[in-house]
Amino acid sequence: MDKVRIAVIGLGNIGSLHLENIAKEPRVELTAACDIVPEKAKAAAERYGAKAFFDSDSLLAAKICDAVIIATPHYAHTTIGIAAMGAGYHTLVEKPISVHKADCERLISAHTDPDIVFAAMFNQRTDPYYQKIRDLVKSGELGKLLRVNWIISNWFRTQTYYDSGGWRATWEGEGGGVLLNQCPHNLDLMQWIVGMPLQIRGFCDIGKRHNIEVEDEVTAYMVYPDGCTGLFVTSTGEAPGTNRLEIAGDQGKLVMEDDRILYTRNEIPATEFLQTSKAAFARPPVWDVTIPVQGHGGAHAAILENFANAILHGEELIAPAEEGIHSVEMANTMLYSSLKGKPIDLPLDSAAYEQELLRLIAESTFKKDTSTEGTVTDMAASFN
Ligand SMILES: NC(=O)c1ccc[n+]([C@@H]2O[C@H](COP(=O)([O-])OP(=O)(O)OC[C@H]3O[C@@H](n4cnc5c(N)ncnc54)[C@H](O)[C@@H]3O)[C@@H](O)[C@H]2O)c1
């Protein structure tokens, strides 16, 4: 095989970007376009010279591709992913890989054949800023980690955004709000850089800034191994918002904000200095180190290229889909902790959380306004 024959399932905002990227990527060719809205499938098939399908089962039965990209609303990532891998297709699933941890476990356990490539669209892992920060942490340059804070409150979304899709921002349609739609990227990066916490206390505000039944503002406190603590703050209702990642280690402090990484390095590690200094108010002397980084990486196109290279040449995946369970577990635990009003230890009890979500769905009385469905035209552009 010198080209991967690929299908896109779900041709909305991000599915449309995947179609464009496939057209530009020499290692893949689009053979099928699938959406439950026939007009979308027909339009994409015609534009890109592929065959149209109106349901994923018919597409999987047709055997005209080697791989699928699943870009449907989140719940279907699990069901379609299980069916796709069961039928022998290489699978690239959008984030979040599933809505809740129990579904992640079901999806991951369907990946039984090691020859099948199973990847997740964590495009921000291709960003050199996060790669550099990860290198600095993993290499031990920062020393023992003391604190990790991420304020990511620039995921601003209007009410029109939430009203633009029947599935958006309901327990039944999406299974969560900002934590499940926008933050999978940040939570994935956070666990990729510093690992998983041992405990989370989440405070999630439901429909605080928008008329929605899920969370649109979150503050979570995390406890990590070895005394490190963390704070994660996010919102879709704050403008201009902030994207500031700050990691304090024994050997210094790293801050990423405004397209800049500044590393303030202690000449003497903080824990050593505080034990050995004879002065009461002295501080370790520091060096300011600017970390040069250029550009924000290849994003979705780079994940697609890596997926194709993994199928064709066994290249190592940038984002193996199995790792997608961690961001879902963190998001679920933040919500679960907030609903229960207490800290929750990890690993999260996936069955208990699933029951909680089913209860929220069963008790929902929210009436979804979909008045702007089909009228929003600026969403696809936001991913470029
Ligand atoms: N990686 C990223 O940067 C990124 C960006 C945006 C969205 N996403 C993810 O992509 C997914 C889709 O988001 P979107 O904003 O494109 O949504 P969307 O509503 O714009 O598009 C979803 C499409 O899937 C179709 N669909 C629904 N159920 C289907 C099914 N069972 N089979 C086939 N088609 C089906 C819908 O008709 C629609 O066209 C979400 O999980 C979201 O989190 C990822």
- pLDDT tens track for 269-298: 999 999 999 999 999 999 999 899 999 999
Q: Mean pLDDT for the chain? A: 96
Q: Is residue 38 part of a domain?
A: yes
- The confidence score (pLDDT) of residue 372 equals 73
Which of 347, 331, 380 has its CA nearest to residue 186?
331
Please state, in angstroms and as integers, the Cα–Cα distance from residue 314 to each residue in 290, 308, 311, 346, following that order.
36, 9, 6, 33
Indicate whether 205 and 258 sit together in one domain. Answer: yes
Determine the straight-line distance between the first and last CA of the chain, rounded to whole angstroms: 30
Q: Are residues 312 and 339 in the same domain?
A: no
Of 206, 151, 147, 150, the residue nearest 178 (C-alpha)? 206
Ligand 1 midpoint to CA 326 (Å): 21
Report whether 97 contacts 187 (CB < 8 A).
no
Do 206 and 344 belong to one domain? yes
| Ligand 1 atom nearest residue 74's Cα | 41
13 CA: nearest ligand 1 atom: 16
pLDDT score at 325: 98
Mutate to test the pocket of ligand 1, among 36, 57, 376 (most ligand atoms within 8 A of CB): 36
Q: Do 271 and 288 fall into the same domain?
A: yes
pLDDT at 143 over 50: yes
Give CA–CA dist 316/305, Å, rounded: 12
Beta strand spans in the chain (E): 4-9, 28-34, 51-53, 67-70, 90-93, 118-120, 145-152, 199-206, 215-223, 229-235, 243-249, 252-257, 260-266, 286-291, 344-345
Q: Are residues 230 and 149 in the same domain?
A: yes
Fill in the amino acid letter for 365: T
Q: Is 35 in the pocket of ligand 1 (CB under 6 A)?
A: yes
Q: Is the CB of 94 under 6 A from ligand 1?
A: yes
- Within-domain flag for 384: no
- Which is nearest to 348 in space by CA: 327, 332, 335? 332
Is 140 part of a structural domain of the chain?
Answer: yes
Residues 146 and 10 in one domain: no
Domain assignment present for 104: yes
Q: Is the CB of 287 under 6 A from ligand 1?
A: no
Judgement on whether residues 35 and 94 belong to the same structural domain of the protein = yes
Q: Are residues 188 and 80 in the same domain?
A: no
Of residues 137, 255, 260, 262, the one with CA closest to residue 193 = 137
Question: 20 with 106, same domain?
Answer: yes
In the chain, the percentage of residues whose pLDDT exceeds 70 is: 98
Closest to 82 (Cα-Cα) out of 100, 53, 57, 54: 57
In a shared domain, residues 316 and 333: no
Measure 9 CA to ligand 1 centroid, in angstroms: 9
The atom of ligand 1 lying closest to the CA of 14 is: 16
Structural domains counted in the chain:
2
- As a whole number, mean pLDDT of residues 161-170 equals 93
Rg (CA), the chain: 22
Tens of pLDDT, residue by residue over 292-327, are: 999 999 999 999 999 999 999 999 999 999 999 999
SS3 letters across 302-338: HHHHHHHHHHHHCCCCCCEHHHHHHHHHHHHHHHHHH
Please report whether residue 350 resides in a domain.
yes
377 within domain boundaries: no
CATH code assigned at 350: 3.30.360.10
Distance (angstroms) between ligand 1 centre and the Cα of 252 equals 41
C-alpha–C-alpha distance, residues 235 and 213, integer Å = 15
Task: Look up the pTM and report it.
Answer: 0.97
Q: Is the CB of 41 within 6 Å of ligand 1?
A: no
Q: Tell me if 95 CB under 6 Å of ligand 1.
A: yes
Q: What's the CA-to-centroid distance between 96 and ligand 1, angstroms? A: 11
Each residue's pLDDT tens digit, 249-259: 999 999 999 99
Question: Is residue 379 in some structural domain?
Answer: no
Domain boundaries, position 305: 4-123+298-321
Q: Is 81 in the pocket of ligand 1 (CB under 6 A)?
A: no
Atom of ligand 1 nearest to the CA of 379: 15
Q: With a 6 A CB cut-off, is 73 part of the ligand 1 pocket?
A: yes
**Cα 35 to ligand 1 centre (Å):** 10
Query: What tens digit of pLDDT does each residue of 326-354 get?
Result: 999 999 999 999 999 999 999 999 999 99
Distance from the alpha carbon of residue 105 to the mean position of ligand 1, in angstroms: 21
135 and 177 within one domain: yes
Q: Which atom of ligand 1 sits closest to the CA of residue 40? A: 39
**pLDDT value of position 369:** 78
Structural domain includes residue 98: yes
Return the best residue to mutate from 9, 11, 14, 161 for the ligand 1 pocket (most ligand atoms within 8 A of CB): 14
Q: Do residues 327 and 96 make contact, with C-beta atoms less than 8 angstroms apart?
A: yes
Please give the structure tokens belonging to residue 68.
């699928």
| pLDDT of the residue at 382 | 66
The reply to whether ligand 1 has any atom less than 6 angstroms from the CB of 370 is no
**9 Cβ inside 6 Å of ligand 1:** yes
- In this structure, the answer to whether residues 257 and 267 fall within a common structural domain is yes
